[in-house]
Structures are given as structure tokens and as C-alpha cells.
Chain A
Amino acid sequence: MADLKITNLHKHYSGVQAVRGIDLEVASGEFTVLVGPSGCGKSTLLRTIAGLETPDGGTIEIGGRVVNYVRPRDRDIAMVFQNYALYPYMNVFENIAFGLRARKTPQAEIETRVRRAADMLGITPLLERLPRQLSGGQRQRVAIGRAIVRNARLFLFDEPLSNLDAQLRDEMRSEIKRLHQELGTTMIYVTHDQIEAMTLADRIVLLRDGKIEQAGTPLDLYERPATRFVAGFLGSPQMNFVPAQLAQSGGGWAVKVGSDVSLPLPARQGDGLSDGRAIVLGLRPQYVTRANGSHRPGHERLGVTVELVQPTGSRAYITFPLGGVPIVAELESHDVQRPGERIDLDLDMNRAVLIDPESNRVI
């Protein structure tokens, strides 16, 4: 059974339509990540699920019960906020116990549950401390402890790692993933960080302008994006987009870039394809590699002049021009030495994405 079911949800603030007609089901035990750029409505959606905002239209069901006008406390949810939201005048123990005390849980049970949560998160030695005596990572652990101690049906996370530095963020990300595996509870997680979305999610819901652009498993979205926006949003460095044309070539199809580059496509269904049709070719930097001697089906060789080299350690990002736009490729760091070098690249056209420039949908 779905733990959460949202039907045709709308929410607007003084003229701004933050959420427009969202339908979403989250299965029991699923880790769903709502991701999208700033202002896409992901936080509004989460806050509406939590009951901190009232929807203007549509329904929200939690555990089969419509909760549109149910107070947050009666929705059986727990929430972790971006700024930790710890009470500065209470120690860690009391902060974690806060929700249990609010629900009049017996003292003995509070003791047991707080200590169990603290053990899981490795913060038992900090129980007597005040929040101001903790580091950012420790504070976020306490905030998570306060949520998990409640045994709620639904856990909501509102960009919980945004305030942490990069290293801590990686650490806490693994921690959250581990917690989800241990607890097996339903979690809904909001982030604008696509790495967090990819690594944590069982299912990603990518939002744009208050609507769901695409929902599916991380690999689904990464490998089979439905739109140019999805293709560009997930993956780092971003997918390359090259203006091109379709052309028939030897019984199949090819992508013509500029006047001199023609990249044959692997066998495709002919649906929607026509000779001379303008398209945008999408190619991830990871699928452009240094060419070696072998020729694999669907791979095309392209000679380019390197304009820019950005080494990152084990990998190097290089930039070269194609069809009038700069293209980024992710190579082994020793594949290329300096700008100006002429090299042969291997383009994996099996992974290429063809986009209709008018609708921006993937063909």
C-alpha cells in the first residue's frame, strides 16, 4: 500500500503558483527524493505534505487517510529541517526527547528510545551537551535523532545537508542511506543537489515550475531522460547539447553536426524521424572517451582540437568545439596533456539522446 498518495495538488502564494497539479504515490519503505532547481516547488510540496502549508486544491493521503486539513502533529510524520531546528535551551537528550514528551510518552520509554536513537547515530557521548556546543554535523545527527525516535510512518527531510561542508555532507549522506536501510521506513527527501538525489533515492521525482518533469529510478532518469531539462539536470559535468540535423545515411540515420561531421546512429525505430529535421544531440561527457584502436558498434570516432584541460585528479575534463558549441568530455587524466593538442575521441552514440528543439522533449 502507498504510504503517501498525492492527487492533483495545487498550492499558490500571493499570485505565484508554487505547485501545479502534482500526482505522486510513494510506496511503503521507499526512499523518494524530490529534486529540482530553486523555486521548482519541491520544498512547498514537502511542507504541504507535512501540513505546514494548506493545499489550494487536490488531496494528500497518508496511510490511506486524507489529511488535507489535519494538523501536522496528527499526520504521523517526522521532519528534519535544513537549519537543524534544535532548541538552544535544551540539551541533546531533551531535544531528541521533545517529540516524545509532547506526546506524553512514559519517562522509561523516552529513556530507552532516546538512547537507542543516540546509539544508532553515534551521539551518545553528546547527550548532556547543548546544541551550541556541537559541530554542524553533530547538530544534524541530533536533528535526525529527533525524527527517528518518533517511529513515524513518514519521514520528511528538507535539504538537511545544505548547511554542511562538502566532506561532512558525504559522510551524512551515507549515514542517512544506512539509516534508511536499517529502519526500512518511508522517507521523502528534498534536495537541489543531484548527487544527493542520485545516491540516496530509490526513486527520484524531478520537479520544474511546480510540476513533475519526470519520476523514476535514478538510472532511469540518468539514462532515459524524458526532456532536455532532465538530461541537463542530472549528471556532472552536465550533458552536452549540440544543435544538429537528422540525415539518412546508408539505410539508417545519422546526426549531422555542422557541414563536415556526420555521426551515424545505431539502429532506431523510425518514429518521428525525418530527413533534415533539426534536433539537439545530447551526449554525456562520460560517454566521450579517448579513442583506442578497436571499433565497437555504435561508437564513432571524432578528431578534435582540445581547447581547455581541467584536471581533477584521476579524471580530466577537456573542452573542444563541435557544431559551434563547446563540448566537455571526461577523460582519464593522462589521456590529454595540454590545450591545442589534436586527439581522437570515441563517441558512444548508443547513449546519445536526441531532443526536439521545439518541445525540448527527447525523441
Chain B
Amino acid sequence: MNARPPFFRRPGIVLALRYAAAVALTVGFLFPVYWLFIISFKTPEEIFAFPPVWYPKSVQFANYAVLFKDGDAVTVWNSLVLAGVSTVIAMVLGTICAYSLVRFKTGGENLAVWIISQRMMPPIAIAFPVFLLYVFFGWVDSYHGLIILYTAFSLPYVIWMMRGYIEDLPLELEESALVDGLTRWEVLWKVVFPMVRSGLFATAVFTFVFAWNDFLFALVLTRTEVITYTVQVTHYFGGQSNFWAKIAAMSVLGTIPVFFTVAVLQRYLVRGISMGAVKG
């Protein structure tokens, strides 16, 4: 007669426990997002009700409507422009720099390390000097001011990441293209970019999220014209009371673009990150 395995080793039980753990973990991660999302549709009474209202009786769009009516929603657009443009510039420049580091050994081994070391500097350390410089140039509260800053901050990361991806490319692919009739720039565009596409997207997502989430520089370097959504959210924290409904609605607006980007690029993201992971 076959002895039955102990209760906790039975295949069905193991599977059930695994699912239970996965569900618990997912709920733990998703609940704050759900709560934020649901608050944005609640009336003020529902927000402060006790016991808590787990889902609103009727969905209120008033919290969003007021953001658009007051013109606060434009701050999401500002964030989008700043993060989007700086990401594109950083990706193009960073990939070209990385290519140069890898293929032409520009600056030898040390330059690459020096570049990534720039990333280790705490942003707050340079906030004040940057502010003074920006006042001097008249770049405070301008799109290009923040775009230049975000690009400069993202570049070391982009260069470092893209360097890793490009190093993995077989040199012969590029040499073959050079012999077949491409110029160096065409090789970069037609051979290197398609080959490192996953890494390119993965790096771009992180670069975008960095700029998107920035609060410090947006706070220091903006006044009224290019306020980003992260700064705008803080305007709803008052000395007397906090506008939780607005905070939630604005935060949801701020989450949607990132959520969308990651959802669309998920395939590349996973592949891109694992490409880096395998390389070690």
C-alpha cells in the first residue's frame, strides 16, 4: 500500500497554498492603488465615512471635472512634455554615446565609470547651484530648463545601460553592414537600434519614470508656467485641511500615462531587463 504524503506536501495543497500566497501578495500591492482610484470617485462624506466605504454608491466624476475646470489638469500635460521630450533626447544622445564608448573605446575604460558615477550624486546636493544658474540664464519656470536638467540627469543611466546592451551585439553584424554599403550612422539606425530594441524600450521606460516622478527639481525650478503634476498635488495639502478627493484624482491622472506606457511596452520591458540580467 502506498503511503500518502504528508498533508502539506500533497500536490493539490501545495498548489492551493501557492495561489493563496500569490493572491495575498497581489492584494497587498494592489490595494493602495485601488484605494487611491476609488477615493477619486467618492464624495467627501464617503471619503471620511467610518466604517470605510469599500466602493462608492455612485461614481462621481466631479473630482476630475474640477481639476479640468480649474486648469490643474494641465500639469499632467506639463509632466508629459518634460518627461517625454527629455526621455527621447536622453535616449538618442545616450545611445550614441554608449555606441562610441563601446565601438571606438572613447575615453578608455575610465570614462564609462566616471559617467555612471555622476548618477550617484544626491540631486539635493546640486539643487541650489542649479537654481542659481537657472536664475542667471533665465531658465526658471521654462520647459527647456527642466528638459535640459532631466536629460542631463538621465544621460549617465542611459549611457550605462545602453553600453551593456551594445557590448552584447556581435561586431560582425555591424562590419557586414559597413561592407554591404551602410555608413556608420546608418549602421546605428538600421542595425544597432533594431538589435537593442528591447533594451532601448526598457531603459526609456525607466528614464521616463524618473523624470515623471521628479518632485525636487520641479518644485525648485518652476513657479506657475510649467508646474508638474507632482508639485500640483502638494498644493492640495492645506494648513487646515487636505483635499483628499483632488489629491486622489490628480494622482490617478498622474498614474495613467505611466501605467499605459508600461502596459504597451511590457513585452520589451521584460525582455530588456532580463537581457541585462543575463549579462550580469
Is the CB–CB distance between A85 and B194 below 8 Å?
no
Per the bound structure, the CA–CA distance linking A77 and B175 in Å amounts to 12
Take A87-B191, A89-B195 as given contacts and tell me if A81 and B182 are in contact as well, using a CB distance cutoff of 8 Å. no
Per the bound structure, the CA–CA distance linking A102 and B177 in Å amounts to 9
Nearest Cβ on chain B to A312's Cβ, whole angstroms = 36
Per the bound structure, the CA–CA distance linking A276 and B103 in Å amounts to 59
Decide yes or no whether A34 CB sits under 8 A from chain B. no
Per the bound structure, the CA–CA distance linking A79 and B173 in Å amounts to 11
Most buried by B among A82, A87, A102: A102
Within 8 A of A (CB), among B149-182: 170, 172-173, 175-182
Decide yes or no whether A73 CB sits under 8 A from chain B. yes
Decide yes or no whether B118 CB sits under 8 A from chain A. no
Decide yes or no whether A146 CB sits under 8 A from chain B. yes
Is the CB–CB distance between B179 and A98 below 8 Å?
no
Interface string of B241-271 (1 = CB under 8 A from A): 0000000000000000000000000000000
Is the CB–CB distance between B195 and A78 below 8 Å?
no
Is the CB–CB distance between B172 and A82 below 8 Å?
yes
Decide yes or no whether B183 CB sits under 8 A from chain A. yes
Which single member of A73, A83, A89 contacts B179 (CB below 8 Å)?
A: A73
Decide yes or no whether A71 CB sits under 8 A from chain B. yes
Interface string of A81-121 (1 = CB under 8 A from B): 11101011100000000110011000000000000000000
Per the bound structure, the CA–CA distance linking A239 and B175 in Å amounts to 38
List the B side residues contacting A77 at CB < 8 Å: 179
Take A102-B186, A146-B180, A150-B180 as given contacts and tell me if A87 and B175 are in contact as well, using a CB distance cutoff of 8 Å. no
Nearest Cβ on chain B to A327's Cβ, whole angstroms = 43
Take A85-B170, A87-B191, A89-B194 as given contacts and tell me if A102 and B175 are in contact as well, using a CB distance cutoff of 8 Å. no
Number of interface residues of B (CB under 8 A): 16
Per the bound structure, the CA–CA distance linking A102 and B195 in Å amounts to 18
Decide yes or no whether A281 CB sits under 8 A from chain B. no
Is the CB–CB distance between A83 and B182 below 8 Å?
no
Per the bound structure, the CA–CA distance linking A85 and B178 in Å amounts to 12
Which single member of B172, B177, B181, B191 contacts A83 (CB below 8 Å)?
A: B172
Per the bound structure, the CA–CA distance linking A271 and B177 in Å amounts to 55
Interface SS of chain A: helix, strand, loop or mixed?
loop
Interface string of A114-146 (1 = CB under 8 A from B): 000000000000000000000000000000001
List the A side residues contacting B178 at CB < 8 Å: 51-52, 71-73
Decide yes or no whether A50 CB sits under 8 A from chain B. yes
List the A side residues contacting B173 at CB < 8 Å: 85, 87
Is the CB–CB distance between A99 and B195 below 8 Å?
no
Interface SS of chain B: helix, strand, loop or mixed?
helix
Nearest Cβ on chain A to B7's Cβ, whole angstroms = 47
Nearest Cβ on chain B to A244's Cβ, whole angstroms = 48
Nearest Cβ on chain A to B160's Cβ, whole angstroms = 25
Is the CB–CB distance between B180 and A73 below 8 Å?
yes
Nearest Cβ on chain A to B108's Cβ, whole angstroms = 12
Interface string of B180-192 (1 = CB under 8 A from A): 1111001000010
Nearest Cβ on chain B to A297's Cβ, whole angstroms = 54
Is the CB–CB distance between A73 and B181 below 8 Å?
yes
Is the CB–CB distance between A83 and B170 below 8 Å?
yes
Which single member of B175, B186, B195 contacts A81 (CB below 8 Å)?
A: B175
Per the bound structure, the CA–CA distance linking A88 and B194 in Å amounts to 10
Take A82-B172, A85-B170, A85-B173 as given contacts and tell me if A72 and B179 are in contact as well, using a CB distance cutoff of 8 Å. yes
Is the CB–CB distance between A81 and B177 below 8 Å?
no
Per the bound structure, the CA–CA distance linking A81 and B175 in Å amounts to 9
Take A83-B172, A102-B186 as given contacts and tell me if A78 and B194 are in contact as well, using a CB distance cutoff of 8 Å. no
Within 8 A of B (CB), among A137-160: 146, 150
Is the CB–CB distance between A85 and B172 below 8 Å?
yes
Which single member of A71, A85, A103 contacts B176 (CB below 8 Å)?
A: A85
Nearest Cβ on chain A to B172's Cβ, whole angstroms = 4
A75 closest partner in B (C-beta):
B179
Per the bound structure, the CA–CA distance linking A286 and B195 in Å amounts to 51
A156 closest partner in B (C-beta):
B179
Is the CB–CB distance between B179 and A78 below 8 Å?
yes
A99 closest partner in B (C-beta):
B180
Nearest Cβ on chain B to A81's Cβ, whole angstroms = 4
Per the bound structure, the CA–CA distance linking A93 and B204 in Å amounts to 32
List the A side residues contacting B195 at CB < 8 Å: 87-89
List the B side residues contacting A82 at CB < 8 Å: 172
Nearest Cβ on chain A to B22's Cβ, whole angstroms = 33
Nearest Cβ on chain A to B47's Cβ, whole angstroms = 51
Take A87-B191, A89-B194, A89-B195 as given contacts and tell me if A102 and B180 are in contact as well, using a CB distance cutoff of 8 Å. yes
List the A side residues contacting B183 at CB < 8 Å: 71, 73
Interface string of A37-58 (1 = CB under 8 A from B): 0000000000000111000000
List the A side residues contacting B182 at CB < 8 Å: 73, 102
B175 closest partner in A (C-beta):
A52
Listed by A's residue number, 20 A-B pairs whose Cβ atoms lie within 8 Å are A51-B178, A51-B179, A52-B179, A72-B175, A73-B179, A73-B183, A77-B179, A78-B180, A81-B175, A81-B176, A85-B170, A85-B172, A85-B173, A85-B176, A89-B194, A98-B180, A99-B180, A102-B180, A103-B181, A146-B180
5 closest residue pairs by CB, A with B: A102-B181, A99-B180, A85-B176, A85-B172, A81-B172
Residues of A within 8 A of B (CB): 50-52, 71-73, 77-79, 81-83, 85, 87-89, 98-99, 102-103, 146, 150
20 additional A-B pairs beyond A87-B191, A98-B180, beta carbons within 8 Å, are: A50-B179, A52-B175, A71-B183, A73-B182, A78-B179, A79-B175, A79-B176, A81-B175, A85-B172, A85-B173, A85-B175, A85-B176, A87-B195, A89-B195, A98-B177, A99-B180, A99-B181, A102-B177, A102-B186, A146-B180
